[in-house]
Amino acid sequence: NAVGGSVKGIQLAGAYNDVKNEVGGFQIAGLLNDTKGKVSGAQVAGVANIARKSFKGVQIAGLLNSSRESSGLQLAGVTNSTFGVLNGAQVGGILNYAKKMKGFQFGLVNLADSSSGVSLGLVNLSSNGFRQISIYSNEVTNTNIALKTGNSKLYSLLIAGNNFSDTARVLTFGFGLGHEFLLNKRLSITTEVTGQSIYLGNWSYFNNLYRFQTQFQVVPAERLIVFAGPSYTYHRPDAP
């Protein structure tokens, strides 16, 4: 279906809907919805939805959703993109992108030029967010490394550890979430919840380790953070 003006109501197509101006209502297509003007309502497509100006409502696509500005929900099997301000939510199977993210992102990888919202994923990157690598020791493994990405509201941790010892062979890997309470430019407190799998020399069995930890952080110099704090650990063995 191709419309040279605007659509108010419902537009249905087995393959493709194309609107030159605005849409106020519903677009449903087997493959693609493409609107050159504003969209207020819903776009549902088997492959992709494109709102080339502002979007308010719901976009649902099997592959991708794209908009200039978004104040609604973008739900896609692979990727969502907002090339202006995102005030709503993006839920993508793999990747979400927003130029200025003020809402919520959920996906494996979340990207933003700037973010004041919340991103939940394995990796969350923005120009004003966290990109921290932490190296530390604890009671299980003497050498650990964690990649922290996100912002102070919510950040993700990808964790790996190894016990470099002649007496105990321990490997760990896991994921966690954290929040930072900023006290001033040099002092902060973080709370983190993590889950890790532990390898003890036999791939037939894994042990699970769940941890809640609080850390006191000091910034003595640029790009350097020193931290320490208590933790509560719950160990769930898998071996009989």
Q: Give the per-residue pLDDT at 164.
A: 85
> Which residues 6+ apart lie within 8 Å of 20 measured at CB?
3, 4, 5, 36, 37
Which whole number is the average pLDDT over 3-12? 84
Q: Give the per-residue pLDDT at 226.
A: 95
Which whole number is the average pLDDT over 108-123? 97
Q: For residues 84 and 172, what is the distance between their CA atoms, to the nearest angstrom?
A: 40
Which whole number is the average pLDDT over 65-71? 95
Q: Give the per-residue pLDDT at 13.
A: 87
| Residue 211 pLDDT greater than 80, yes or no | yes
The mean predicted confidence, pLDDT, of the chain is 92
pTM of this structure = 0.90
pLDDT tens digits along 24-43: 989 999 999 999 999 999 99
Name residue 152's amino acid.
Answer: S
Name residue 178's amino acid.
Answer: G
Which whole number is the average pLDDT over 127-154? 93
What sign does the dihedral 79-85-90-94 (CA atoms) show?
positive
